Amino acid sequence: MLEGTTAEIRERKALRVNPVKTCQPIGAMYAALGVNGCMPHSHGSQGCCAYHRSHLTRHYKEPVVATTSSFTEGASVFGGMSNLTTAIENIFSIYEPEIVAVHTTCLSEVIGDDIPTIIKKAAEAGKIPEGKTVIHANTPSFVGSHITGFANQCEAFVKYLAEPRQGEEPRKMINIFPGFVDPADMREIRRLADDLGIEYLMVPDASDVLDSAYDGKYQMYPDGGTPVAGLKMMGENQLSVGLGPLASEPALKTIAKKCEQPTELLELPIGVSATDAFVNSLRLAAGVKVPTEMVRERGRLIDMISDMSQYLHKKKVALFGDPDHLTSMTRFLVEIGMEPAIVIAGHPGKKWEKKIREIAPGAEVRASSDMHYLHQWIKNHPVDLLIGNSYGKLVAKAEDIPFVRFGFPILDRVGHRAFSIVGYRGAMRLIEKMTDTLFDHTDRLCPDEDLELIQ
Residues carrying an active site annotation: 106, 110
Euclidean distance between CA atoms 406 and 416, whole angstroms: 8
Put the strands of the sheet holding 364-366 in their side by side order. 364-366, 339-345, 316-321, 385-388, 403-405
Asked if 211 and 418 touch (Cβ cutoff 8 Å), the reply is yes
Tally of CB atoms within 10 A around 175: 29
Q: How far is CA 447 from CA 352, 437, 443, 444, 451, in A?
A: 43, 18, 8, 9, 7
Asked if 349 and 367 touch (Cβ cutoff 8 Å), the reply is yes
Euclidean distance between CA atoms 153 and 147, whole angstroms: 10
Burial class (CB in 10 A: 0-12, 13-18, 19+), 70: middle
Euclidean distance between CA atoms 31 and 150, whole angstroms: 6
Question: Rounded to an integer, what is the distance from CA 212 to the centroid of its chain?
Answer: 18
